Amino acid sequence: MASIARSFEEIYGRKPEVIAEAPGRVNLIGEHIDYSEGFVLPFAIADRAHAAIAARTDGLVRIASHQRKEKIFSIDISDVKPGSKGDWEKYVLGVLWSLGITSGVDILVDGTVPSGAGLSSSAALECSVAVGLNTLFALNRSKEDLARATQKAENDYVGMPCGIMDQSVSLMGQAGSALLLDCRDLTTQNIPFDVASAGLELLIIDTQAHHALVDGGYAERRAACESVARKLGIPSMRHLTLDVLEANREKVTPTEFIRARHAVTEIARVLEAVTALRASDFATLGTLINASHVSLRDDYAVSCPELDVAVDASLAAGAMGSRMVGGGFGGSAIALIKASDTQKTKDAVLAAFDKNGFKKPRFFTSLPSAGASASLV
């Protein structure tokens, strides 16, 4: 926190008024169903985005990154609207726009969430800025309101039709727990997630096959689920069962059928996973994690060779469960393993990647961590 404050002063010649932070996330299970009013079970990780912000007396918005201090992006607040200029800065501008900020600000961002790794670096950035602005301007917006506002920023300003899971857990996560989020009404329950006491570890494998979800793959899958809902006269996949889907197979395309099948079965797997966690039944949790990957790979078609190799190598090394996480098309996988098998699992994945000619993956672990926060300087 002190370093970003110093950098802010170096760049802008004055001190920040608020310092904020928000974590990335790992989704234990419940992938590609947040936009179908499903249940998801993510947890906040230790890596996070940071934002230092100060208000201005004019309408100028200036944005800089700790990694690119020499490049300051500038725009007038009156020009901050969807379609205006910006690259990664759009994630920040979208939050200003969705929160209705009308005065100028200076913003500096930094972070340790790996970009493109499927760990929600973009949501962490958005949420750090959102809680910072909420504190700076005394907006008194609830965390649920901020989750909707940051989702709107990514949907309507950035152009990425994401659900609300990433922003919700970044804002509402709690240390020691996974967050059961009902994406229909944003109600939450904290589910104790203590793998360490069982002698286990959740290994995160960044395949370094970096995705860019704005390219249409994500939008196509969301559109398929929404098309099925329209054709069957239901609000969302949350209202569908496998029996009803099967009985109406002729009303949807073959591709829509398998996309909907993933959504229906994944929603069920989340609730089964909660039951397993409450009973400390990690064997069942592992089985559900495996089934999630198969569904994402075969029915939703969002995996990729690097993710499949990471999962297969982890399972061959003895993992209880392994799956891709995040939007897919690259990014990270998780493996539920015995803590004593950590090095063996890493070695197996490294060897498999080397054999396939893939870029060397990165590994890290994280216990469930606290959500976003902000404080006046």
33/219 Cα distance (integer angstroms): 13
Confidence label for 190 from pLDDT (cuts 50, 70 and 90): very high
pLDDT, one tens digit per residue, over 223-254 is: 999 999 999 999 999 999 999 999 999 999 99
Inform me whether the pLDDT recorded for 50 exceeds 90. yes
What angle is formed at CA 122 by the lines to CA 120 and CA 125, rounded to 5 degrees? 115
In angstroms, the Cα distances linking 199 to 16, 205, 288, 337, 340 are 43, 19, 19, 9, 8
The full set of domains in the chain, from first to last, is 2-190+369-376 (3.30.230.10), 193-365 (3.30.70.890)
- Polymer length of the chain: 377
- 250: Cβ contacts below 8 Å, ≥ 6 apart: none
Confidence label for 215 from pLDDT (cuts 50, 70 and 90): low
Q: Using an 8 Å Cβ cutoff, are 152 and 162 in contact?
A: no
Joined together, the tokens standing for residue 268 give: 């069920």
Main-chain phi, psi angles of 115, to 5 degrees: -75, 140
Confidence label for 18 from pLDDT (cuts 50, 70 and 90): very high
Angle between helices 143-152 and 121-136 (to 10 degrees): 120
Number of CB atoms found within 10 A of residue 245's CB: 21
Provide the pLDDT for residue 212: 60
Provide the pLDDT for residue 1: 63
Inform me whether the pLDDT recorded for 70 exceeds 90. no
- Between 103 and 327, residue with greater pLDDT: 103
pLDDT, one tens digit per residue, over 344-371 is: 999 999 999 999 999 999 998 888 999 9
Instruction: Supply the residues annotated as catalytic.
Output: 166
Percent of the chain with pLDDT over 90: 85
pLDDT, one tens digit per residue, over 298-327 is: 999 999 999 999 999 999 999 999 999 988
- Tokens 């804002």 appear where? 171
* pTM (predicted TM-score): 0.86
Main-chain phi, psi angles of 110, to 5 degrees: -150, 170
Provide the pLDDT for residue 328: 86
Q: Using an 8 Å Cβ cutoff, are 322 and 335 in contact?
A: yes
The rounded mean pLDDT for the chain is 94
- Between 120 and 297, residue with greater pLDDT: 297
Inform me whether the pLDDT recorded for 213 exceeds 60. no
Confidence label for 218 from pLDDT (cuts 50, 70 and 90): confident
| Averaged pLDDT for residues 191-203 | 92
Q: Using an 8 Å Cβ cutoff, are 196 and 337 in contact?
A: no
Joined together, the tokens standing for residue 154 give: 């990514």
Provide the pLDDT for residue 365: 87
